[in-house]
A and B are shown apart, each in its own frame.
Chain A
Amino acid sequence: MKQFWKSMLRSPSGVIGLIILVLAISIAVFGPMLFPNSPWRMVQRPFLPPFTLSTVPLGTDALGRDVFAGMIFGARVSLLVGLVSTLVALVVGVPIGAMAGYFGGKTDDALMRFTEFFQTIPSFALAIVLVAILQPSIYSIVASIAVVSWPPVARLVRGEVLSLRTREYVQAAIVTGQSNTWIILREILPNALSPVIVLASLMVATAILLESSLAFLGLGDPNLISWGYMVGAGRTVIRQAWWITVFPGVAILISVLGLNLIGEGLNDALNPRLSREGR
């Protein structure tokens, strides 16, 4: 673990990414406490440009709502959607991939057909249908995003497990009579983790974007404000009021960038070939 942080902190992209993520998360967590104004409240005249009034520093939107408040509250939803749906995707994808890879044969075939089923339906289309069926809400959105994002996880984990399964230490565990569950959990998964973590960092970004695309099609949670919602809602008035889309857009950009940088850093830190170069 120490080794991990060390190599993580050695890669500049990892450090920048971490800083961005920590910043974004603290805004999401603490922002609404410091800034308790509801982002839905119409506080000023519509289309107030940014930097004109100190009370609404980033201006107002088409209904006169505070863009700044939206940014702060939006961070919460966007990051939550990103993180939670990734987590769910991992919770689904990792066991399926692990079982397929470990048991092989018919189990593998069945599980992979199942995975393929989700993979061949164009993912965004499936997400749309699912959200529509479940009715848009933060839960259904997270669930749908998770449903379309787990197959790559499963495939990746399966591949890793497939190769790890033949490692000698796994065989050693088998011959010492340990149970399959134990072997998967203790011997295999911890060693399959690094590529999964890297993939997950990218998935968070994809999930944030997916949420924004859903919001764009009017399938966002109507009770919660998100950056994606703001970009979508401000898009049509971009000619009169650039600030409504640009600020949340930049926020998405920076967050996704940050997550990608973390992914990059993780990649470097967790890739033994890179981090152990010279040992």
Chain B
Amino acid sequence: MMTAPPAVSIKNLRIALPKGAERPFAVDGVSLDLRPGKIVCVVGESGSGKSMCAHALMGLLPDTVSVTSGEIQFEGRDLLKLDDDGWRDLRGRRLAMIFQEPMTALNPLMRIGDQMAEMFEAHGLLTPKERRAKALSLAREVGLPDPERIVRAYPHQLSGGQRQRAMIAMALALEPAVLVADEPTTALDVTTQAQILKLIRNLQRNRNMAVMFITHDFGVVADIADQVVVLRHGKVVEEGPAATVFNEPQHDYTKALLAAVPSMDPPARAPLDDQARAVEVIGLDKTYVTSGGWFREDRRVDAARAVNFNILKGETLGLVGESGSGKSSVARLVMRLIEADRGTVRIGETDLTSLSGKALRTERHRIQMIFQDPFASLNPRRKIGHIIADGPIAAGTDPKVAFDRARDLLKLVGLDTGALERYPHEFSGGQRQRIGIARALALEPEIIVADEAVSALDVSVQAQVLRLLEDLKARLGLSMLFITHDLRVAAQICDRIAVMQRGAIVELKPTAQLFAAPEHAYTRELLAAVPGRKERAPAA
């Protein structure tokens, strides 16, 4: 099988970035082959040039970048020498692509079916009626429920997974020889992700397609890759069959990446039963109502249904569940960023839900939050020093004291004090998240709520931040509510884990117990969906 001639052969590809970019070449001397019936996974940290390779292969590079050398051989031609018409002919018909963001990759104003039919229209195939019929059968093929209805729906009326299925249907419409999938599941929750991965795998096998699959998630790679290519700073650092790369990584970078993948085995933890309660959440209810109109009924979402839990001093409680299950809503309710319909949140002895205005403001320092996106959570126009010191200053601390403390905090999270005078965009993602942590600590809180605090980070950076959190928590005796959709992360950091589904907590148990003996069906489903469960990161 390995001897089959490559469908696509990228040779020595070099793509130049415009002046002023962070490095001169997005991709520098990359060579790789895609063979029929094989999935090549391209992995690497964010910005390593994965998407650039994919786009070059589809001839969809942005105007500002250009290929300076190399070739892409496909069916005996060099794609880089193709003219517009040539490209148009190949795209869709012979080369197809699935994009990362299923929402934005579909035209919001066109019905799904029409967008599928366009595939045929673009190449002048079939009559309009046949196209519609074909769209319907495609929808069925990718397992979209109720296909008759869905082809008439607009993208926003579909769930993320459904949209991604529609994208896949489109990509497969003309049975292309090569499929390029650029992080097709990153935006999806684990259960949906697992379904989509299975779908791609099956379709690819059935049609003997060559697939280039881009991801940063080693779990995913472990699940589907035949061949793995590791990119770093635009260069291939390692390449080989999946098993080889996983089990005998050659390059240090690959090793580091693999080491950083958290394991599903929860480490042993000291019991905390004798500690006092830091947070008590009693019977929280929250329902969002969006008025419908257009002959539609109002949309009601129960984001929290009788949510009860408490966190002991020094404990980390994990809150997991698929996307949309209500995790963030609970976090915001606990933080009093939104108002609960019912229920009480108690911090120590204080009933937070009964406070408002100034009284609330003065109590806020006791519970702080670390936000998901390290960039989005820092005001791009304020210096780090201010970002950290603003809270204490608002609470009445003398500015000089507050800045001194900010300096100490930066040291504590491992940044040098020069950072005080810089702006957020001058830091890396991991550094930014550290700033976020420093800000949360500045108010000397008793409790920290971390809502997907590490999801936006690369595995390697993620590992660093998690270590830091553990360390700080132990040193400062904090309690933590740790929200994540990543069960691997949860396994590593939580004392107990609560599983949420449709606004309700369905299971709450010490971590080891939960992983060892999930009781609720949903928990089991969730655990099963974690990609790469079969393989073990060797360093774990």
Judging by beta carbons under 8 Å apart, are B64 and A278 in contact? yes
Query: CB-CB < 8 A to B378: which residues of A?
Result: 169, 172
Beyond A177-B361, A177-B362, A177-B395, whether A171 also contacts B369 by CB under 8 A is: yes
Within 8 A of B (CB), among A157-205: 167-169, 171-179, 182, 186-187, 190-191
Interface flag for B382 (CB, 8 Å): yes
Nearest residue (CB) in A for B362 is A177
Q: Is the CB of B381 within 8 A of A179?
A: no
> A174: which B residues are within 8 A, CB to CB?
337, 364
Q: Could you tell me which residues of chain B, from 355 to 373, have a CB within 8 Å of some CB in chain A?
A: 361-362, 364-365, 367-369, 371-373
Complex: A119 Cα to B380 Cα, angstroms:
33
Known contacts A168-B372, A172-B369, A279-B21: A179-B361 contact under CB 8 Å = yes
Q: In the complex, what residues of A have CB within 8 A of residue B442's CB?
A: 176
Return the CB mask of A249-279 against B: 1 if under 8 Å, else 0.
0000000000000000000000000000111
CB atoms of B22 and A172 under 8 A apart: no
CB atoms of B391 and A171 under 8 A apart: no
By the criterion CB–CB under 8 Å, are B379 and A175 in contact? no
Q: Quick check: B373 and A177 within 8 Å, CB to CB? A: no
> What 16 new A-B contacts, CB under 8 Å, besides A176-B443, A177-B394, A186-B379?
A168-B376, A169-B377, A169-B379, A172-B436, A173-B391, A177-B362, A177-B365, A178-B391, A178-B394, A179-B394, A182-B390, A190-B382, A278-B17, A278-B18, A278-B62, A279-B21
Interface size on B, residues (CB 8 A): 36
Contact call A175/B337, Cβ cutoff below 8 A: yes
- B residues near A172, Cβ cutoff 8 Å: 369, 371, 377-378, 436, 439
| Complex-state Cα separation, A171 to B442, whole angstroms | 16
Closest chain A residue to B366, Cβ basis: A177
Which residue on chain B has the smallest CB distance to residue A191?
B381
Collect the chain B residues with CB atoms within 8 Å of residue A190's CB: 379, 381-382
Known contacts A169-B376, A169-B377; A176 and B391 CB within 8 A of each other: yes
Question: Which residues of B sit under 8 angstroms from A179, Cβ to Cβ?
Answer: 361, 394
Say whether, besides A186-B382, A186-B390, A278-B21, A175 and B377 are in contact (CB < 8 Å). Answer: no
Chain A residues near B (Cβ < 8 Å): 167-169, 171-179, 182, 186-187, 190-191, 277-279
List chain B positions with a Cβ less than 8 A from chain A: 17-18, 20-22, 62, 64-65, 335, 337, 361-362, 364-365, 367-369, 371-373, 376-382, 387, 390-391, 394-395, 436, 439, 442-443
Complex Cα spacing A129 to B65, Å: 56
- 17 CB contacts below 8 A, A to B, read A168-B376, A169-B378, A169-B379, A172-B378, A174-B337, A176-B364, A177-B361, A177-B362, A177-B365, A190-B379, A190-B382, A191-B379, A277-B62, A278-B17, A278-B18, A279-B20, A279-B22
Bound form: Cα–Cα A277–B379 in Å? 20
**A187 vs B378: C-alpha distance when bound (angstroms):** 10
In the bound complex, residues from chain B placing their C-beta under 8 Å from that of A169 are: 371, 376-379, 387
Shortest Cβ gap from A17 to chain B (Å): 23
In Å, the complex CA distance between A72 and B65 comes to 48
Cβ A176 vs Cβ B439 within 8 A: yes
Q: A277 to chain B: which residues have CB within 8 Å?
A: 18, 62, 64
B364 contacts which of A175, A187, A279 (Cβ < 8 Å)? A175
Query: Secondary structure of the A side of the interface?
Result: helix
Query: CA A13 – CA B63 in complex, angstroms?
Result: 21
Contact partners of A191 in chain B: CB under 8 A: 379-381
A171 — which chain B residues lie within 8 A by C-beta?
337, 369, 371, 377
Instruction: Decide: A168 and B391 in contact? CB cutoff 8 A.
Output: no
With A176-B439, A177-B364, A177-B443 as given contacts, are A168 and B371 in contact (CB-CB < 8 Å)? yes
Tell me the complex Cα distance, A167–B378, Å: 9
Inter-subunit contact A173/B390 (CB<8 Å) = yes
**Complex-state Cα separation, A14 to B35, whole angstroms:** 50
Residue of chain A at shortest CB distance from B423:
A3
| CB atoms of B391 and A177 under 8 A apart | yes
The reply to whether B390 and A176 form a contact with Cβ atoms under 8 Å apart is yes
Minimum C-beta distance from A273 to chain B (A): 12
Q: Chain A residue with minimal CB distance to B449?
A: A175
CB distance from A182 to the nearest CB of B (A): 7
A168–B436 Cα gap in the complex (Å)?
11
* B376 and A176 contact, CB distance less than 8 A: no
Nearest CB to that of A167 among chain B residues?
Answer: B376
Residues of A within 8 A of B381 (CB): 190-191
How far does the Cβ of B343 sit from chain A's closest Cβ, in whole Å? Answer: 19
Residues of A within 8 A of B367 (CB): 175
A169 to B381, CA, bound (A): 11
* B371–A176 touching, CB < 8 Å: no
| Nearest residue, chain B, Cβ from A169 | B379
Q: How far is the CB of A166 from chain B (nearest CB, A)?
A: 10
Chain B residues lying within 8 Å of A187, measured Cβ to Cβ, are: 379, 382
CA A168 to CA B424, docked complex, whole Å: 14
Instruction: Kindly identify which residue among A168, A178, A278, A279 contacts B390, using a CB–CB cutoff of 8 Å.
Output: A178
Determine the chain B residues whose CB is within 8 A of the CB of A279 once the complex forms. 20-22
Bound together, the chains give a CA A123 to CA B17 distance in angstroms of 48
